[in-house]
Structure 1
Amino acid sequence: MKSLEKAADYLSQGLALIGSIGLFAMLAHVTLDVALRNFADTPIPATNEIVSRYYMVLIVFLPLAWVERQRTMITVEVMEMLLTPRGRRISDGAVALLATGIYGFLGWVTWSVALKSMAIGTFVDVLGHKIAVWPSYFLPPAGFVLAAAMTALRLAIIIAGPSATAEEGPET
């Protein structure tokens, strides 16, 4: 179980890194566009479309797995302090199961939308030039499925109990 958790950590950190790189690329792209528009009167064509169809989708959906792995998704714990440790474990397991189902469903739905977009070759027209945007439709299902994998791992850890990771010994 410990090696699976370590692989999940590396995967989620890698996805967060890709999201961070996308954020910096968007920052550079928009800054360059604004500078060129104001100083040389030559904006970069399709900046709005690329930012909204690629960068923002990448930044939002790929790091979902990292957010789930870090357990930093928004939570409400009003009744949590009233529960026994076993009750908290059951509650955490139910939340992980529900989240896995929701993420899995969202991944399935967005996957079918991505396949349809690819099949018809979805694009945007910018100044008479076709810019393919169908590849960006594959980012949400990837993010949702990987987030589902992280919540499923959390559920497996909860079911296995706290002794399951301790039995495998210290990390090397």
Structure 2
Amino acid sequence: MTTFDRVSDRLGQILAVLAAFCLTAMMLHICMDVVGRFAFSRPLPSTIEIVAEWWMPALIFLPMVAVARHHENITVDLFYDRSGPKMRAFMNLMSNACFTVFLGFIAWGAGEQALRAYGEGEYIVGMIPVVTWPARFFLPVAATLTGLLTFMRALRALRHLTAGPGHDAGGEI
């Protein structure tokens, strides 16, 4: 396992644990809101806004690196499983290269939006004002880190593809 693999694995674990913490916090937050609403006729202020702007983006975007790291993305192996080692390496190269480019565009666009939100001190007004600009950084950070991971996988696939005879070109990438 390379240093990059160890670092990306550790980073993925940290972000996944942070997402798990956010899930727990969201469940407690919603439970307290429901209890407050029905038992005391006093709901927690701005629960919907906090869930929508903080907890849900964290749950969606923070585990992206861990999902990609453990090959848990949605895949269709219709042709892949029936292909030879060189064709598998080529498919790995193309899919990882395309995904890297896609994630780069996502990181760029979301990063611009996050910086704009930061510059404006973005918040929404519910029952109480809820600062939202920090949560805007979840997507660009996750897309950038996942993009680095897929870029490294594309490089490995290229190395396997160009390897001489006798090398396993379709191995774990």
User: Hey, what does 2:73 align to over in structure 1?
Assistant: 73
The equivalences for 1:1-150 within 5 A come to 2-127=2-127, 129-150=128-149
Instruction: Tell me the CA shift for residue 157 of structure 1.
Output: 2.8
User: Hey, what does 2:150 align to over in structure 1?
Assistant: 151
Name the TM-score, length of structure 1 as normaliser: 0.88
CA distance in 2, matches of 1:4, 1:123: 37
Runs of 4+ aligned structure 1 residues displaced above 2 Å come to 156-163
Secondary structure of the residue that 1:110 maps to in structure 2? helix
**1:11-53 Cα distance to aligned partner (Å, 9 max, x none):** 1111111111111110111011111111111111011000000
CA distance in 1, matches of 2:76, 2:118: 39
Matched AA of 1:143: A
Please list every run of 5 or more consecutive structure 1 residues that lacks an aligned counterpart in the other structure.
164-172
Matched AA of 2:21: I
CA distance in 2, matches of 1:131, 1:12: 28
**1:54-83 Cα distance to aligned partner (Å, 9 max, x none):** 000011011111111111100111111332
CA distance in 2, matches of 1:156, 1:40: 59
Deviation larger for 89-98 or 116-125: 116-125
Secondary structure of the residue that 1:124 maps to in structure 2? strand
Name the TM-score, length of structure 2 as normaliser: 0.88
Question: What is the CA RMSD across the aligned residues, in angstroms?
Answer: 1.7
User: Hey, what does 1:168 align to over in structure 2?
Assistant: none
CA distance in 2, matches of 1:42, 1:92: 54
Instruction: Tell me the CA shift for residue 122 of structure 1.
Output: 1.8
Matched AA of 1:113: Q
CA distance in 1, matches of 2:36, 2:157: 53
CA distance in 2, matches of 1:9, 1:156: 18
Secondary structure of the residue that 2:35 maps to in structure 1? helix
Instruction: Tell me the CA shift for residue 153 of structure 1.
Output: 2.2
Please list every run of 5 or more consecutive structure 2 residues that lacks an aligned counterpart in the other structure.
164-173
